[in-house]
Structure 1
Amino acid sequence: MAPLVPSQDEQQRRRIIDINAETVTNIPSTDFPGHWPGESHAWAVDQFKNTFQVDFHRNDPLEASFSLIGLDAAVANAFRRILMAEIPTLAIESVFVHNNTSVIQDEVLAQRLGLVPLKGSVEGLNWMHWFRKPGEDEDGSNASEPSDFNTVILRLDVECTKNPEADENEQDPRKLYNNAHVYAKDMTFHAVGRQESYFVDEGAIRPVHPEILLAKMRPGQKIDVEMHCNKGIGADHAKFSPVATATYRLLPDIKILRPIIGDDAKKFAKCFPKGVIGLEPVTAQEAGRGGSGYEGHAGEQKAVVQDPFKDTVSRECLRYDEFQGKVKLGRVRDHFIFNVESTGQFDSDVLFLEAVKVMKLKCARWKRGLNDLMA
């Protein structure tokens, strides 16, 4: 028996998750999501190529928004988790305090320094190796030694002094004293060995945001510390995560089932964020067509769906009796709108490509494991 072929309308119905007044339905359409009895749902690379799309909505250095269309939720969520936890970055791991006479305790200062996001040459970061720390039950013989290929050195050496040129009536401590405020830009990078060929000029290791305030001092106080930076991933500590946020949402779907005209149309538009619902005049052709619902309303305003992308799915329109049976809300189950905020080490659009690389490595590792089992 040949497999059933669902109609176009049925395929479209399956793509929509229904948003009701108090419930969400059609989440898994069957016992096995994405599979229906009597139909062939064998995965094929050609079919995937024809249905998969990537659309960019925003592409700034620190923030990107794009849509992945035609993916399964498990794959989309895997990319989100990889973005947060498995892309390696550089962060301050060890702080050696030589002198700290400021009011900030050593451990608090070290914690503040560790959370400063850093940026530098991506090529240099890829060249660097992992720094292995000894485990709790190990004697340290297998631990890594600091070297040019696994450790980057930053220094912070500032002392607060009086400014002899300050006005006698000056009240601002930043003008009264030198180095009254210690900022991230005061950290200096010291390349060693082969780092001099990777981290140079614009590729040098430096804070993403130079104006991050680290400490406040007064004359006679000094901070002298050396910081060792290592590669790590967000799964080990949040300071290694390359993203501030990495989220996705499903594309809203709004269907107007019956005409909404006049004052009701204006009220309907106010139920949604600006730009989601538009108002258009009813044409003479629509008003003259029998059964359209626009008979006798030529020239009046009607509600039309303008841009569902901007909708927040608040369900506000479902509160009113006059809209019952006239509108249907949903979400497209295979249209994922990603929003990625980079902390600065990678450009936001590059981050997703890095996540794809990690995913490919995971798949290759899994494939090798299967081959080993079959051998």
Structure 2
Amino acid sequence: MPQSIDDTRRHVQVLPERIGAVAGSEFPGHYPGEDHSWNLQKFKENLITSVQRLTPSTIEFDLVGVDASIANALRRVMIAEVPTVAVEEVYVWNNTSIMQDEVLCHRVGLVPLKIDPRSLNYKPSQQAHPHETDTIVLELRVRCDRKPGVDKSEKDPRKLYYDSNVYTGMMTWSPSGDQARKYKGKEPKPVDQDILLCKLRPGQQIDLHCFARKGVGMDHAKFSPVATASYRLLPHIIIREPIPSEHQEKFKKCFPEGVIEIENDQVIVKNPRKDTVSREVLRHPEFADKVSLNRIRDHFIFNVESTGQYQPQELIPEAISILLSKIKSVEDGLDKLFSSEGQAA
């Protein structure tokens, strides 16, 4: 399997009449001289995945050889169907801050929690009582007081008061049942400890009881494990005629830096991956019919940013597992349908 973008490009077959096509019209006879009947062996040979960039929170990878519908299904599953854990219910025992109860609860509900969703079950029903297997309890108890001995001319609230700012790091886990043993060394907590929830002044306090449960993004955006999950098609730039020497620098500046280079008095496409498909070059009449801007229809460049519940490289296998389970459900349903029809006949 190719490991670099150059290797990936060498494995992609680009036919002129197919460049730019995006829709899934893969059936025999649609393209002259091409047979698009399904062939598992051919699909395996053309399927390429290649990780281009990986950071603690983001991943950029290439997916080559699939239809746009498959790539989009993978993106949508990552956004809406990979489960996470978020605060679902908040019991406000005391809130004398300036922030209304419902606003404060909403802010707490949107806090990403570092809890492995695979360790929890879904709550059986809305009416079911919380259980240690489906609920994590977090508490937020903060009171603001004035610090003694501070100069009266001091204006900085952080020097004047204790706990004038309420951060997510002040949320503490309250284990129940067997959870203390189950999560030993992996205590549930917010992903980011420095998210500002509220500001307090002397005498004001907050006392909340938060129930976190497992859910998916299609139910509420707070359960989505990704901040962004998007893809774009790999740009394909074809220089149809040599660019004259006096126009080469101008041609190069029509593209983002690194896309076009001049080598041996020739203009070459160095890295089309950096192109933003701005089409700036088409504004200049001297380049008319000299360049063609296209995109490779089955080469998808994915950019995924995790909100912290999963490592970014874990999101894709999770999404694929969910897609496979959907396919299995359809197969089981079809088997039951055909078996019932056979019995009726």
TM-score, normalization by structure 2: 0.90
Question: Which is worse superposed, 48-57 or 89-98?
Answer: 48-57
Amino acid in structure 2 at the alignment position of 1:146:
P
In structure 2, do the counterparts of structure 1 residues 330 and 11 end up closer, same or farther at CA, with 3 Å as the change threshold?
Answer: closer
- Mapped to 2, the partners of 1:75 and 1:28 lie a distance apart of 11
In structure 2, do the counterparts of structure 1 residues 325 and 156 end up closer, same or farther at CA, with 3 Å as the change threshold?
Answer: same
Aligned match of 2:243: 260
Amino acid in structure 1 at the alignment position of 2:249:
K
- 1:276 has 2:240 as partner: no
Out of 98, 101, 111, the residue aligned to residue 116 of structure 1 is 111
- Mapped to 2, the partners of 1:312 and 1:112 lie a distance apart of 36
CA distances 1:132-159 after superposition (whole Å, capped 9, x unpaired): 444xxxxxxxx32101000000000000
- Unaligned runs of at least 5 residues, structure 1: 1-8, 18-25, 135-142, 282-300
CA distances 1:13-52 after superposition (whole Å, capped 9, x unpaired): 24410xxxxxxxx5559xx445425854332222111110
In structure 2, do the counterparts of structure 1 residues 335 and 27 end up closer, same or farther at CA, with 3 Å as the change threshold?
Answer: closer
CA distances 1:60-79 after superposition (whole Å, capped 9, x unpaired): 12110000000011110000
- Mapped to 1, the partners of 2:66 and 2:307 lie a distance apart of 26
In structure 2, do the counterparts of structure 1 residues 11 and 35 end up closer, same or farther at CA, with 3 Å as the change threshold?
Answer: farther
Aligned match of 1:96: 91
Amino acid in structure 2 at the alignment position of 1:357:
S
CA distances 1:310-331 after superposition (whole Å, capped 9, x unpaired): 0010110011111011111100
Out of 2, 19, 24, the residue aligned to residue 16 of structure 1 is 19
- Mapped to 1, the partners of 2:299 and 2:205 lie a distance apart of 55
Alignment of 1:219-234 (within 5 A): 219-234=202-217
Aligned match of 1:4: none
Amino acid in structure 1 at the alignment position of 2:58:
E
Out of 100, 122, 129, the residue aligned to residue 130 of structure 1 is 122
Asked whether the equivalents of residues 90 and 105 of structure 2 are also in contact (C-alpha less than 8 Å), the reply is: yes
Cα drift, residue 168 of structure 1: 3.5
- 1:151 has 2:135 as partner: yes
Asked whether the equivalents of residues 26 and 37 of structure 2 are also in contact (C-alpha less than 8 Å), the reply is: no
Out of 73, 81, 85, the residue aligned to residue 86 of structure 1 is 81
Out of 46, 67, 85, the residue aligned to residue 41 of structure 2 is 46
In structure 2, do the counterparts of structure 1 residues 343 and 11 end up closer, same or farther at CA, with 3 Å as the change threshold?
Answer: closer
- Mapped to 2, the partners of 1:276 and 1:10 lie a distance apart of 20
In structure 2, do the counterparts of structure 1 residues 374 and 274 end up closer, same or farther at CA, with 3 Å as the change threshold?
Answer: same
Aligned match of 1:57: 52
Cα drift, residue 261 of structure 1: 3.0
Alignment of 1:297-308 (within 5 A): 301-308=265-272
- Mapped to 1, the partners of 2:61 and 2:105 lie a distance apart of 37
Out of 171, 182, 190, the residue aligned to residue 155 of structure 2 is 171
Percent identity, aligned pairs only, is 45
Aligned match of 1:372: 336
In structure 2, do the counterparts of structure 1 residues 280 and 319 end up closer, same or farther at CA, with 3 Å as the change threshold?
Answer: same
In structure 2, do the counterparts of structure 1 residues 200 and 263 end up closer, same or farther at CA, with 3 Å as the change threshold?
Answer: farther
Asked whether the equivalents of residues 49 and 63 of structure 2 are also in contact (C-alpha less than 8 Å), the reply is: yes
Asked whether the equivalents of residues 160 and 217 of structure 1 are also in contact (C-alpha less than 8 Å), the reply is: yes
- Mapped to 1, the partners of 2:144 and 2:70 lie a distance apart of 53
Alignment of 1:190-205 (within 5 A): 190-201=174-185, 203-205=186-188
Asked whether the equivalents of residues 250 and 331 of structure 1 are also in contact (C-alpha less than 8 Å), the reply is: yes
Cα drift, residue 354 of structure 1: 0.5
Secondary structure, counterpart of 2:15 in structure 1: helix
Aligned match of 1:288: none
Computing the radius of gyration from Cα coordinates, the structure with the larger value is 1
- Mapped to 2, the partners of 1:266 and 1:344 lie a distance apart of 44
- Mapped to 1, the partners of 2:26 and 2:41 lie a distance apart of 21
Amino acid in structure 2 at the alignment position of 1:334:
D
- Mapped to 1, the partners of 2:195 and 2:231 lie a distance apart of 29
- Mapped to 2, the partners of 1:47 and 1:334 lie a distance apart of 14
- Unaligned runs of at least 5 residues, structure 2: 1-11, 340-345
Aligned match of 2:196: 213
Cα drift, residue 130 of structure 1: 0.6
Asked whether the equivalents of residues 144 and 163 of structure 2 are also in contact (C-alpha less than 8 Å), the reply is: yes
Asked whether the equivalents of residues 158 and 222 of structure 1 are also in contact (C-alpha less than 8 Å), the reply is: yes
- 1:69 has 2:52 as partner: no
Amino acid in structure 2 at the alignment position of 1:185:
G
- 1:361 has 2:325 as partner: yes
Out of 221, 228, 242, the residue aligned to residue 225 of structure 2 is 242
Asked whether the equivalents of residues 261 and 303 of structure 1 are also in contact (C-alpha less than 8 Å), the reply is: no
Secondary structure, counterpart of 2:82 in structure 1: coil
Amino acid in structure 1 at the alignment position of 2:110:
L
Out of 281, 287, 309, the residue aligned to residue 317 of structure 1 is 281
